[in-house]
Amino acid sequence: MPMSAKEIEDLIRARLPDAEITIKDLAGDGDHYAAQVISESFRGKSRVQQHQIIYDALRGNMGGALHALALQTGAPD
Amino acid sequence: MSPETVQSWIDQQVKTNNVVLFMKGTKEMPQCGFSGRVTQILNYLGIDFKDINVLEDMSVREGIKAYTNWPTIPQLYVKGEFVGGADIISEMFQSGELEQHLAEKGVEVSKAVA
């Protein structure tokens, strides 16, 4: 069951209330998205750790309902 | 393989090979765009790496995700350490961070382009 951009944004925002989230639908099939997430809680964390926070926020949908999510993460400049 | 044996098998692969890529398909024939992209980057940098085709064994495909709490394939390991998936490796490659990381870990890079 594909996910909508809004569902992804809501799940990420629930975990990172301060985040600036931009989601692009890459293929229009609810399965391939690109997301840019900027949040203070990423400061000082490695890219792997930042992406793991997003994957945890998506509660197991990643790799299942959501096949591809190209992630760009970072702390505000 | 059983969940327990697959975790120790993965651990052994990761620790006994300098560079290991858990991917869909093989380095000669990647079967997913993301796996293909990382394979291209490693080939461009002239890095000798072990490819493990997770499509051949579902227990490995699921086991690797539990091994690092990372839900997607491909996964790149250098000297026993998880470096990242397709996004992170692409980002690191473009910024030159990947070559630096490999050099720091003592992995030989022989760029195809001098």
B100: left (phi over 0), alpha (psi -120 to 50) or beta: alpha
Rounded Cα–Cα distance for residues B103 and A68 (Å)? 30
CA-based nearest distance B97→chain A, Å = 12
Q: What is the pTM of this model?
A: 0.88
- Closest residue in chain B to residue A50, using alpha carbons only: B88
Q: pLDDT digits over B15-49, tens only?
A: 999 999 999 999 999 999 999 999 999 999 999 99
Q: In angstroms, what CA-CA distances link B40 with A16, B33, B44?
A: 34, 10, 6
Q: Are A42 and A53 a contacting pair, CB within 8 Å?
A: yes
Task: Determine if the peptide bond prior to B74 is cis (ω within 30°).
Answer: yes
Q: Cβ–Cβ of A71/B84 closer than 8 Å?
A: no
Residues in A touching B31 (Cβ below 8 Å): none
Q: Cβ–Cβ of A72/B87 closer than 8 Å?
A: yes
Sign of CA pseudo-dihedral B15, B76, B5, B66: positive
Asked if the ipTM is above 0.90, the reply is no
Query: Do strands B75-78 and B19-23 pair parallel, antiparallel, or not at all (unpaired)?
Result: antiparallel
pLDDT band at B83 (very low <50, low <70, confident <90, very high): very high
- Of A47-56, A61-70, B72-81, B82-91, where does mean pLDDT reach its minimum? A61-70
Rounded Cα–Cα distance for residues A52 and A22 (Å)? 18
Q: pLDDT digits over A21-76, tens only?
A: 999 998 888 788 999 999 999 999 999 999 999 999 998 777 777 778 889 999 99
Sign of CA pseudo-dihedral B22, B93, A48, B106: positive
Rounded Cα–Cα distance for residues B5 and B60 (Å)? 10
Residues in B touching A62 (Cβ below 8 Å): 71-72
